[in-house]
Chains A and B, each alone.
Chain A
Amino acid sequence: MGAATETFYNVIRRQGITRRGFFKFCSLTAVSLGLGPLGPSHIANALETKPRMPVIWMHGLECTCCSESFIRSAHPLVKDAVLSMISLDYDDTIMAAAGHQAEAILEETRAKYKGQYVLAVEGNPPLNEDGMFCIDGGKPFVEKLRSMADDCMAIIAWGTCASWGCVQAAKPNPTRAVPIDKVITNKPIIKVPGCPPIAEVMTGVVTFITTFGKLPELDRQGRPKMFYSQRIHDKCYRRSHFDAGQFVEEWDDEGARKGYCLYKMGCKGPTSYNACSTVRWNGGISFPIQSGHGCFACAEDGFWDRGSTYDYLTTIKQFGIEKNADQIGMAAAGVAGLTVAAHAAVTAAKRLTLKRDGAAQDNHRG
């Protein structure tokens, strides 16, 4: 727990920066920010006394892919994020402490940093059977989540599980797993969706909060604007093939070899908000579309319940059969067309008989 009280100053001293260097940094920063003569001492004071931001990292119903992604961050390196920038006080997957020792840290942080710590949640709580489908430290996870959320400053919802529900909330959702914002409504929640989210996006969000001491600007759906305000499609390097009308039509056709647009193969880049096409994965090596596979919108709400991964048109199940909008629409238009045709036929028949009747009556009269 001693690490939690460490300040920025302690950390950079440990990394070999002299006190003189530290003051130089403070002066330079104060000048660049246009602060007055007392500026440098204010900054130095803040950095020397303000403890690093404590972070509690909890795991609900999840697969740990978010953690796996996080530890592969290259910019910044995850060791810098975890060991210098924040004070990761609790993360049951990677922490040294275990059992009661580990659980004690939760209570300690709650008491010591009331309203100051960030609660990072990976996975989500199931609500059915009073939350019995996810037991963590002998209690339902949802209880742990609620109690830790009470005193936190903000919540980071890691991944699609915490943000939208993901696979455990897919229909029929037997455990009634719900995203964090359905359980915690009185705290700011930063959604960082993706299955998993990109490592650099995760560390980027953490870096922003520690550097500026405030939460990043969020969009309408609670996602940081800096990473989620554009679609995969908007920055896709295959976009020119989309505009040109050059599509892959089979996985092994000429278009696939030429790197054409994967839209017809069901690529959901046009509806998926994420930074994959700019930040990419594994230190900027590649991302799905670059490897020839369409995006399947893993960062979007309910992406498991939108039919096939390889269909752009959503499967609609409300009609009892699995059809997409086109099939339903064409069926409806077909029925309308047939009705029209039948109606026209009946009308014609009726007119003919009327005419014949009329002619017959005329004959009678004649």
Chain B
Amino acid sequence: MKQQRIDAGPAGPVPWYDPRVRSLFFQAIAIALVFWGGWVLVDNTLSNMESRGISTGFGFLNKTAGFGIIMNLVPYDATMSYGRTFWVGLTNTLLVSAMGVVTATILGFIIGVARLSSNWLVARMALVYIEVIRNIPLLLQIFFWYFAVLRNLPSPRQSLDVGGILFLNNRGLYLPGPMPQEGFGIVWGGILLAIAAVVGIRIRARKRQLATGQIFPAFRVGLAILVFVPVVSFLVAGRPLEWDLPVLRGFNFGGGITIIPELAALWIALSLYTASFIAEIVRSGILSVSKGQTEASRALGLPNGLTLRLVVIPQAMRVIIPPLTSQYLNLVKNSSLATAIGYPDLVAVFMGTTLNQTGQAVEVVAITMAVYLTISLLISLFMNIYNRAVAIKER
């Protein structure tokens, strides 16, 4: 009130003595400076590169790449464009990251819980694992899995042979590839039907438990449906699936699915390394749940497993999620160490070969950085949504 009276006073403050006008003025200057700095940087870079005769622009993405890549999830051959090499690299990065996140999480939770085990041996083994793995540089671990393990595998002609179906040698693990024949659509239909049924049963079982207190064995019934329905539809459709078996031809095995050793080494190293950090995060989360919660749960008669699953873990998650997000981000970024062992990830393919063949360092590095930034922000976004879902809701 007092303020207002002064503002409305007959003299009135001169605009440049008004704190609001002043702060707006300085903020506008700050923003203008930032934009000007950015513009000068971009403009200078472009004009200087032009004056030095360095090609600029993104036209190179449409030109023929002309080099081979050993592993591609999207169709690729040497006659395709540099733009396509970007997608090949990106999907390979996403593949190893996703595989790494899943296994690191599972392994990390198991080891984190084991670390708190009352069994002395289990707890100590978990401790040793964590302290050894997390204190050795990741790059060395990748080299270890790649070179130390690779050297001990046999050559293609002396492959380890499992029933003529699976083959393991120093070129990779060869699996039979499924080849869906005509009529496989029926099987897909069966799978979708089974998933829908399981979801429906879970919802109904939950409702019934809330309403009547009776427990319906939704898990066991769901599992039975998930196996039974697709198998029946597979038989009804007349077994519309054939297998492409790996066969030794000339130098290597051909046909089937190949898991190359580069992928395996990177996946193992990333999973084991990140799991050691996740284990410590899980331990800290569980320890953060006060002992009274466990005691209360026991007093209600819940067994050990249920106490952990229904009382301790949900509360521990609130502490676990934020640092877990950082570990996921680290894992994705660490996957760029792939270039050291020749796994064709985004950095090796796009920022490696493509950059060198086209020479357009500024564009390629900018695209690559933008991609990692985008992946990381997306992971953060989803983890934040999940975090909000499990966070304490004050009512």
Do A and B originate from a single complex? no
